[in-house]
Structure 1
Amino acid sequence: MLETLLLSRIQFALNISFHILFPTITIALAWYLFYFKVRYDLSRHPVWMRLYRFWVKVFALTFAIGVVSGITMSFQFGTNWPGFMEKVGNIAGPLLGYEVLTAFFMEATFLGAMLFGMRRLPNWLHSLATFLVALGTSLSAFWILALNSWMQTPQGHIMLDGVAHPQSWMEIIFNPSFPYRLTHTLLASGITASFLIAGISAYRLINGDEKKAPKLALRSAMITAAILVPLQVLVGDLHGLNTLQHQPQKVAAMEGVWETTRGADMLIFAVPDEEKRTNHFEIAIPNLASLILTHDAHGEVKGLNEFKELQPPVKPVFYGFRVMVGLGLLMLLISWWVAWRLLTNKNLSQLQMKSIYWMTFSGWIATLAGWYVTEIGRQPYLVQGLLKVSDAVTNIPPQNVALSLTIYTVVYLGLLFAYLQTLFYMAKNAVQVEEYSDRELKSGSKKESIDTAFSQSTDVKSTDVKSIQVKSIQVKSIQVKSAGESA
């Protein structure tokens, strides 16, 4: 049977991999909702509210699963990794507490108003609630990434009797890798949400939905992605330089560099061999790794042989990095290709529509690949230089961990299947609201209430109401005339 350490690592990897899928969407999707709401407030065009109403349901579904999976994940600090809280709990505990107090409470407080207040609250107050939910999601990311970044590049603490104590919270929070990691993650969320919105909208259009809402959503998402992806490339480069400075062993694993080299090649593909400490089947571009990492074609890149027993597992870091970068380049290509067509007012081809649809969850895959590079690349440390993974794991029997791992796996697979099924069911059965003509929009529908514009409870049109009123008057006239004749 597998040992407790390996089973606990697999279980935490499963939990974090499942959990991160949902905040990666909700952080940016909340800001999309705020954008849709502001556009409706300014224009009163009903298409913006239809976008809001559809995607707020997706947000609610995603947010709920993210909260539940986040709670179960936090339990493992006590059940599987007691050494973590014992050694660095004085720092991790407050940061997690700040996340709950400043972010989660804000999200939970105003989420109900955002979801159910469209017809009950003043319009300005509902827009404010949407903004505060979006702000709360970003604040949550701020605190979680402050902790994770501190685990990567710890500072601002002192060690007393083997336990970390905070000395400067400013240094702890704004540690050397935090600005890069926060920006990189927020951009990743924006790209993930953009391709999700575009992909679901493409799915609706492919299936015959010719309304304005999915077309406008696809346009907004793809143009946003075309802006965010190049920014992510720039931030990724800066993040890589920071990692080279503070965690050179991680960079060496990412690049597959075994010997310290000047003018290191960029490996497009290779098969790392940790036993023989070499690579097989290399496809390389000369000097490119040094150029990217040091901005000097002959710059020095430290090799894995410099770190020996402190090196991370090479294969998952090496391949994870290439998956992340490869998907990023594909996202750049597709987003620019589609955005160019949209900005030149050209219709998208079927190939373009299907390409967008196939990329619906590409952000998930790229995010997971990047997360694996970050976390596995820190091994064998749980907190860089302070706490090894093997020193933090629980001593409970491996059978117990295996049982909980099995349960988590079954439940998470079921939840993921249900989430995807529900998401596409919602897309397929999106509520279709009759479009207003340009003439009606120009003639003063600005004061029209949301209840009237987006009522889903009746199919009776105003012309039908007028017809019924006319018939009622005719019946009354006949009745009066009959009564007069009788008299």
Structure 2
Amino acid sequence: MSALDLARIQFAFTMSFHILFPAITIGMASYLAVLELCWLRSGRQVYVDLYHYWLKIFAVTFGMGVVSGIVMAYQIGTNWSTLSEFAGSIMGPLLSYEVLTAFFLEAGFLGVMLFGWTRVGPGLHVAATCAVAAGTLISATWILAANSWMQTPQGYAIEGGRMVPTDWLAIIFNPSFPYRLAHMVLAAYLTTALIVGAAGAWQLLKGRDNPAVRKMLSMAMWMILLVAPVQAVVGDFHGLNTLQHQPAKLAAMEGHWQNAPGEAVPLLLFGIPDMHAETTRYAVGIPHLGSLILTHSWEGQIPALTDFPRSERPNSLIVFWSFRLMVGLGLLMIALGAWSLLLRRAGRIWRQRAFLRFALWMGPAGLVAILAGWTTTEVGRQPWVVYGVLRTADAVSPHGVGPLALSLGLFVVAYFFVFGTGTRYVLRMIRKGPQHFELNQPAQGGPGEQRTPSRPLSAADVADDEGGGG
């Protein structure tokens, strides 16, 4: 492999880990805010128990997200220095705004959220939880603004061989930004709902039927039922935007190579795109359906891959299948929500074991769909790092193969050890299930007290089922 290949693999590897943790924390922070608001309004103990159960899990995933995010920031400078030099005057401020407006907000109120339940009033604690939830959404806004600008750049000029901003509103609110932001936030909510639903289903399958478990399964299924179809609609609008601004990406997603005069575009359900032969082998499709979905007309056509030079075509084999994996999982989410509604109306949602097993197996589906969607977005942008302006091959730092191979190997070992341990720890906490939380317990802490938390992760001090320490 070339140095460029290794740099791309390293960035993809570290980014694949990082994107999962913010997705969980975005959805989890909003879920915690809803739980606490429901408790403040109703006074029901079940919301308190669920809040403190998921708060510990949120603390660990938040910490892992921060650690993996720091690596991403350094990697842009070390492996993609030409990108930093060429577009740093635009990307740098966008990422800095994320730190100033979002990360400080999250970090400032996270301590109150984790340790302030018995130290501040209910209203202030709810405000702290809502502030953290708002911070995660603000963070997503700035990150998606930067990424969307790289996909659909505008509001800039090139002076002295570098990009300089000319219109910050055009940069932030670039053509693909609204669709990407909505798509990512909804994906985060679905991811959290699927994890919460899987946790509830697992508890019920183990015979742990109690009000807290029923409540979290019920809330998760309502969220999936409502949000999954909305996500499909947002995805359709996103596709139309991609057709307008990144037609080569859409052609690669569909494995579409040629347009015959007056011939509609089929929707390919299966196929193996061949980049060298310029065809999709073993194609199985539905006539006209591609035109109907992609152009909203029965005979509409989209640009074909052969309309673009070979050097400007994304890898259709990767994008074709990553897109279908994302869509297939989305359809399963819609099916899960619909099934839950039917069982709820029949009063069997807590006892139907086939449904509970389906909900359990769908637990990681949101994370997989996010990875598939990110792969579609980023591989589909190639060979550009700033679409139509700077090629990926021209953005990489002048490193040799040896240092990049060594650093990639170290990243693989370190990430699987650190984040593998963290993930196992989270699964142990999920396995325990919600516990009763005493509302009127006295405040703990103070100098020398045994249970004074010394770091955020000590909020997750839980023992596993075998009696081991947390």
- Scaled by the length of structure 2, the TM-score of the pair is 0.91
Which amino acid in 2 is paired with 1:7? L
Of 328, 353, 356, which aligns to 1:353? 356
Match of 1:301 in 2: 302
Report the counterpart of residue 210 of structure 1 in structure 2. 209
Q: Is the 8 A contact 2:36 2:48 kept in 1?
A: yes
Residue 44 in structure 1 maps to residue 34 in structure 2: no
1:292-346 CA-to-partner distances (Å, cap 9, x unmatched) read 1110111111110111220111111000000000000011101210133224433
Seen in structure 2, the aligned counterparts of structure 1 residues 162 and 450 have a Cα distance that, compared at 3 Å, is farther
Which residue of structure 1 aligns with residue 417 of structure 2? 414
2:97 is the alignment partner of 1:98: yes
**Aligned residue number for residue 132 of structure 2:** 133
User: Which residue matches 2:64?
Assistant: 65
Q: How many residues are matched?
A: 441
Match of 1:335 in 2: 337
Q: What is aligned with 2:226?
A: 227
3-state secondary structure, aligned to 2:441:
helix
Percent sequence identity over matched residues? 45
Equivalent pair of 1:184/1:236 in contact (CA under 8 Å): yes
Task: Give, in whole Å, the separation in 2 of the partners of 1:273 and 1:371.
Answer: 22
User: Distance between the aligned counterparts of 2:435 and 2:205, measured in 1?
Assistant: 16
Local SS of the residue matching 1:208? coil
Question: Quick check: which has more Rg, 1 or 2?
Answer: 1
Give the aligned partner of residue 468 of structure 2.
none
- Whether contact under 8 Å (2:118, 2:442) holds in the other structure is no
CA-CA distance at 1:449 after TM superposition: 4.3
> Residue 150 of structure 1 aligns with which residue?
149
CA deviation digits over 1:208-250, x for unaligned, max 9? Answer: 2222111100100111111000000000000000000000000
What is the one-letter code of the residue matched to 1:364? L
Per the TM alignment, residue 48 of structure 1 is displaced from its structure 2 partner at its CA by 0.4
What does residue 283 of structure 1 align with? Answer: 284
SS in 1 for 2:284: strand
Letter in 2 for 1:163: R
Pairing 1:7-22 to 2, within 5 Å after superposition: 7-22=6-21
Moved more, 69-78 or 346-355: 346-355
State the match for 2:366 in structure 1. Answer: 363
Alpha-carbon separation, structure 2, partners of 1:420 and 1:21:
11
The separation in 2 between residues aligned to 1:399 and 1:450, in whole angstroms, is 60
Give the whole-Å Cα distance in 2 for the aligned partners of 1:322 and 1:416.
28
Q: Distance in 1 between matches of 2:351 and 2:324?
A: 30
Counting only pairs closer than 5 Å after superposition, residues 169-180 of structure 1 correspond to structure 2 as 169-180=168-179
Shift of 1:394: 1.0
The equivalences for 1:188-203 within 5 A come to 188-203=187-202
Of 379, 384, 389, 1:381 maps to: 384
Cα distance 1:132–1:343, how it changes in 2: closer, same or farther (>3 A)? farther
CA 1:99–1:343 in structure 2 vs 1: closer, same or farther (change >3 Å)? farther
Given that residues 21 and 364 in structure 1 are in contact (C-alpha distance below 8 angstroms), is that contact kept between their aligned partners in structure 2? yes
Q: Which amino acid aligns with 1:451?
A: Q
Residue type matched to 2:362 in 1? M
Verify the 8 A CA contact 1:200 1:424 in the aligned structure 2: no
Q: Distance in 1 between matches of 2:154 and 2:436?
A: 55
Residue pair 1:156, 1:167 contacting (<8 A) in 2 also: yes
Cα separation, 1, equivalents of 2:379 and 2:181: 18
Q: Which residue of 1 aligns with 2:464?
A: none
Write out the 4+ residue segments of structure 1 that deviate beyond 3 Å after TM superposition.
none
Distance (whole Å) between structure 1 residues aligned to residue 285 and residue 433 of structure 2 = 48
| Counterpart residue identity of residue 316, structure 1 | I
Q: Indicate yes or no: 2:441 matched with 1:451.
A: yes
Q: Is the contact between residue 269 and residue 284 of structure 1 (CA under 8 Å) also seen in structure 2?
A: yes
2 CA distance for matches of 1:431 and 1:225?
21
Q: Please, which moves more after superposition, 342-351 or 153-162?
A: 342-351
Q: Which residue pairs with 1:185 in the alignment?
A: 184
Give the match for residue 312 of structure 1. Answer: 314
Q: Which position in structure 2 is the counterpart of 1:273?
A: 274
Mapped to 1, the partners of 2:246 and 2:431 lie a distance apart of: 47
Unaligned ranges ≥5, structure 1 = 435-447, 458-487
Partner of 1:424: 427
Q: Is the 8 A contact 2:81 2:396 kept in 1?
A: yes
Name the amino acid aligned to 1:55. W
Find out whether 1:403 has 2:406 as its counterpart: yes
* Amino acid of the structure 2 residue aligned with 1:81: W
CA displacement, residues 177-219 of structure 1 (integer Å, 9 cap, x when unaligned): 0000000000100111100110112112222222211110010
Deviation of 1:113 after TM superposition, in Å, equals 0.5
1:382 counterpart SS class: strand
Amino acid in structure 1 at the alignment position of 2:216 = A
Distance 1:189 1:343 in 2: 27
User: For residue 85 of structure 1, what is the aligned residue in structure 2?
Assistant: 84
Q: Does the C-alpha gap of structure 1 residues 256 and 8 become closer, same or farther in structure 2, counting only changes over 3 Å?
A: same
> CA separation in 2, counterparts of 1:59 and 1:337?
28
Q: How does 1:115-126 map to 2 (within 5 A)?
A: 115-126=114-125
Letter in 2 for 1:314: S
1:30-58 Cα offsets, whole Å, 9 max, x none, are: 01000000111111111100000000111
Partner of 2:459: none
Look up the match of 1:322.
324
Give SS of 2:256's match.
Answer: coil
Residue 280 of structure 1 deviates from its aligned partner by: 1.2
Aligned Cα root-mean-square deviation (Å): 1.7
1:415, distance to aligned residue in structure 2 (A): 3.0
**Alpha-carbon contact 1:83-1:392 (below 8 Å) kept:** yes
The amino acid of 2:343's aligned partner reads R
> Quick one: which amino acid aligns to residue 232 of structure 1?
Q
Q: CA offset at residue 161 of structure 1? A: 2.0
**Structure 2 alignment gaps of length 5 or more:** 444-449, 451-470
Q: What letter matches 2:303 in structure 1?
A: K
Are the counterparts in 1 of residues 213 and 434 from structure 2 also a CA contact under 8 Å?
A: no
What is the alpha-carbon distance in structure 2 between the residues aligned to residue 5 and residue 75 of structure 1? 17
Distance (whole Å) between structure 1 residues aligned to residue 40 and residue 185 of structure 2:
26
Moved more, 130-139 or 194-203: 194-203
Cα deviations by residue, 1:150-196 (Å, 9 ceiling, x for unpaired) = 00000011111221111111000000000000000001001111001
